Structure 1
Amino acid sequence: MEEERENGAHCLIVPYPITGHINPMLQFAKRLSHKRVRVTLALTEFLLKTTTFSAASVSLRPISDGFDDGGRAHAKTSDEYFARFQETGRQTLSELIRELSGSGRVVDCVVYDPFIPWVLDVAKGAGLQAAAFFTQSCAVDNIYHQAYAGELRLPLSGGEVEVPGLPAMKPDEMPSFIYVHGSYPGPFRMILDQFRNLGRADWIFINTFRELEEEVLQYWMTRIGRVRAVGPTIPSIYLDKRLQDDKEYGLTIFKPMSNICMEWLNQRQPRSVVYVSFGSLAELTVDQIEELACALTTCGKHFLWVIRKSEESKFPAKLLAPMGLVVSWCDQLEVLAHEAVGCFVTHCGWNSTLEALSLGVPIVAMPQWTDQSCNAKFVVDVWGSGVRARPNEKGLVRREEIIGCVESVMEGKFISSNATKWKEIARAAVDEGGTSDKNIEEFVSALKILKATTNK
């Protein structure tokens, strides 16, 4: 196997340097490696110095974002970070491609995150094939593409919004960058810039699976072409189990309190625990945390709540009840896969949403910003795998609303049944011969043909 990989095609994978974008691309890299493609993952110098990495089948190499000592946090503005990353990243990525070629590990294809579209320019400048890898849902990508093309007029006006390939949506069910027009202008420019050179990409991959977003995927294939669903990109042990050593993503920024969580969950009854986490970036207000704490401590159910160290000062410790366990971080997949967990209160980031769907855990959606409100719309109204906790006129989700949503999910057989259904479909998609597996195999076959042609 190693000899075949040594003489086979070589993919250089370049993610945007945040965990939520790296992990799905890293899982895709593992799938390629399992199919005997050599893979190198390019991460920024800062990330390589500050994270723990454990994925033996994938090689790591550095590039620079221009902030090697502090990463994004050391940039004064998002615009400064994007500009510096583009300037320094172009140079160091080009050097890496030449270095790999000179050492006998010639790169055949670059798989890149469209959040950094200049990677495609570098790849094409080096005469390489290139694949864009979208880490958000196809629905969200479609909405952003409509805005980029000027077909979705901003700011929004009127009632429901009609977007091809999607159900009619209320304005507040759109991504927050669309709904609250003018918020975070720097990141929004970056999001629209994903599409500026997409026509030059040889493949377009999306972290979803056909059965989950069939209509919008079909629309994109008709309009853009070259589109393939390759998800859900979560460790194989939780899906098809073909990669026996693939039990975690392999990139760790926060230290999970795994032993404490598992010991506590092992003492709970099946489907009795409410798991609460808002990911690695979302920041709840002090008032929202208090409402959530009051809801959890009065609903009469055990709960496991992840509150990052940066958020600990907001937590009302006096409300902590014996029914709950509060930790600074956990292995989310390990928790969601535990039989004690019956409900997931989440911000509905795409990775968390895919994990819950793939593990059959019903959702209480509390979206905060960016793509999360759109993901929540699909969870509730399209996939039927959860409910949304609605905020009041001040944007605060009150404790009574949270309690009602938790009870309806924990006691709702219909939602639980739908969650189980999506678990089975997600696993089938990546199993041998499944829809996503076929798309990955098609890409691998194309790489082998490309390599054979190049060698001639």
Structure 2
Amino acid sequence: MNFSQKLVDHGCKITFVNTEFIHQRLMSSMAKQESLDDSPIKLVSIPDGLGLDDDRSDLGKLCDAILSTMPFILEKLIEDINLNDDDKITCIVADVIMGWALEVGSKLGIKGVQFWTASATMFALQYNIPMLIEDGIIDSNAPFLFGTEGFPITKGTFQISPSMPAMDKGAIWWSNIYDPTTEKKIFKYLVHCMQNSNLTKWSICNTTYELEPGALSYVPKLLPVGPLLRSYDNTNGTVRSMGQFWEEDYSCINWLNQQPPCSVLYVAFGSFTLFDQNQFNELALGLDLTNRPFLWVVRQDKKMTYPNELLGSKGKIVGWSPQLKVLSHPAIACFVSHCGWNSIMEGLCNGVPFLCWPYFTDQLYNKSYICDELKIGLGLNLDENGLVSRWEIKKKLNQLLSDEQIRARSLELKEMVVNNVSEGSGSSNNILRFVEWLKS
């Protein structure tokens, strides 16, 4: 959605196609905003193939349903628009995980590009699936690619290219979803989507040359256009971007205004992370033990019980936050994060150190990237019960907040990353290149 807004700023008109399930969540979160009738971004939706009561966190089942349902419906939607609408569809920008949309475009004579929402390194990883099989890094039980399992054969590290850091095999994202059947389905689906890379001139990525030089030089067609950040109207603080799953609680900004500079722990784990009650308790008690003010995002769809010790704490708990405004607030001291790529980019743009608590997929690699490559964060260790204990949380937070070198590096990276969006700089120029290609 942020990239769509960038294109709108350059005179493009956008038809934003979502699944009906996600579309409804977006519309619900925008219920109190102004009418979208005159917006240059037109929101439309198509079914994902699952029923209303189906579990969309079953990613394997979702992949199967998408591939059997959505291509045909998308093709019909585009045909209808081009037949009846004054604004014809002239290009398709498809999330890599919806790569089959490029096949639809090719069939209709419409050019397309891929959009990758994670790091350039993760794109390079899956771009090289055939090489991973050939080099014996992931397994193959059949002579054809669709017969492969996609799992690492041994433990250890490997390198995609000499220009890139070594990667732990456990960070191969499609093999750490914790359910082998689901992992196989996702891998098969991913291979199908990646095979459409040859249909594109560009693969657009929310990163910068300075952050991932090795991966970007290894995959020259990757066009870094990051950081892609939400836009705010500075006159009244309203949001231009429409890409939110839940309504944001702006009361947390007023609360932050009352806190001392660089004092607040910001804790948020994105839209997918799940904790059981025991781990939830340890997190709550760990935050309480620090005796610091904290802002904790706990989604309202997760019914958890808070320990009694938290009742008199210094913290504020909200269901969903305006994250970019929170991270840019001078009261924020650090970001306790699941290490999703968008959260990383937002944290980097505000010079905020990370306490890394990855959940699954690319988040495991992102944690290593933050701690070992960028050196702007710390990770957490499990105890003998497989939990991150309250004492570990307190210890690492105290260590992180007392490390002046981590804070200094965070501020250096902030300047480097944010400079990319200024006129005449890397990402800004790349967006102009893309728009010029679109208009030609």
TM-score if structure 2 supplies the norm length?
0.86
Deviation at 1:61, TM superposition (A): 2.3
Deviation at 1:82, TM superposition (A): 2.6
Match of 2:120 in 1: 138
Match of 1:32 in 2: 7
Deviation at 1:314, TM superposition (A): 4.4
Deviation at 1:27, TM superposition (A): 0.7
Secondary structure at 1:98 match in 2: helix
Deviation at 1:178, TM superposition (A): 5.3
Secondary structure at 1:202 match in 2: strand
Residues 285 and 307 in structure 2, CA contact (< 8 A), matched pair in contact too? no
User: CA 1:396–1:90 in 2, change beyond 3 Å: closer, same or farther?
Assistant: same
**1:229 is aligned with what amino acid?**
P
1:162 aligns with 2:135: no
Secondary structure at 1:370 match in 2: coil
1:397-444 deviations in Å (ceiling 9; x for gaps): 222222122112222211111111222122211121121111111111
Distance 1:80 1:300 in 2: 44
1:344 aligns with 2:335: yes
Match of 1:92 in 2: 73
**1:193 is aligned with what amino acid?**
H
Deviation at 1:281, TM superposition (A): 0.7
User: CA 1:211–1:169 in 2, change beyond 3 Å: closer, same or farther?
Assistant: same
Match of 2:372 in 1: 381
User: CA 1:88–1:295 in 2, change beyond 3 Å: closer, same or farther?
Assistant: same
Q: How does 1:95-244 map to 2 (within 5 A)?
A: 95-102=76-83, 103-149=85-131, 150=133, 151=135, 152-153=137-138, 154-164=151-161, 165-175=163-173, 177=175, 182=180, 184-185=182-183, 186-221=185-220, 226-237=221-232
Secondary structure at 2:301 match in 1: helix
1:355-411 deviations in Å (ceiling 9; x for gaps): 111111110001111111100111111112211112235432222222122112222
**2:286 is aligned with what amino acid?**
A
Distance 2:407 2:16 in 1: 38
Match of 2:293 in 1: 302
Residues 100 and 193 in structure 2, CA contact (< 8 A), matched pair in contact too? no
Secondary structure at 2:246 match in 1: coil
Match of 1:7 in 2: none
1:83 aligns with 2:60: no
Deviation at 1:343, TM superposition (A): 0.7
Task: Tell me the matched-pair count.
Answer: 414
Match of 2:143 in 1: none
Distance 1:393 1:340 in 2: 35
1:43-78 deviations in Å (ceiling 9; x for gaps): 2233333323567331222322234745xx456954
**2:90 is aligned with what amino acid?**
D
1:120-178 deviations in Å (ceiling 9; x for gaps): 11000000111011111111222233335424334242433333243123444553625
Secondary structure at 1:359 match in 2: coil
**2:18 is aligned with what amino acid?**
L
Residues 204 and 228 in structure 1, CA contact (< 8 A), matched pair in contact too? yes
Match of 1:291 in 2: 282
1:66-93 deviations in Å (ceiling 9; x for gaps): 34745xx456954443333233322221
1:43 aligns with 2:40: no
Pick from 366, 379, 402: which aligns with 2:393? 402
Q: How does 1:246-261 map to 2 (within 5 A)?
A: 247=239, 249-259=241-251, 261=252
User: CA 1:178–1:328 in 2, change beyond 3 Å: closer, same or farther?
Assistant: closer
Secondary structure at 1:257 match in 2: coil
TM-score if structure 1 supplies the norm length?
0.83
Secondary structure at 1:295 match in 2: helix
Match of 1:61 in 2: 44
User: CA 1:180–1:144 in 2, change beyond 3 Å: closer, same or farther?
Assistant: farther
**2:157 is aligned with what amino acid?**
E
Match of 2:402 in 1: 411
1:287-338 deviations in Å (ceiling 9; x for gaps): 2222212211111211111111233324324433321112222111121111
Residues 145 and 192 in structure 1, CA contact (< 8 A), matched pair in contact too? no
Distance 1:113 1:408 in 2: 38
Deviation at 1:276, TM superposition (A): 0.6
Indicate the RMSD between aligned Cα atoms, in angstroms.
2.6
Identity %, equivalent residues: 29
Structure 1: tracts of 5 or more residues without a match: 1-25, 450-456
Match of 1:432 in 2: 423
Secondary structure at 1:252 match in 2: coil
Secondary structure at 1:403 match in 2: helix
246-255 or 128-137, which deviates more: 246-255
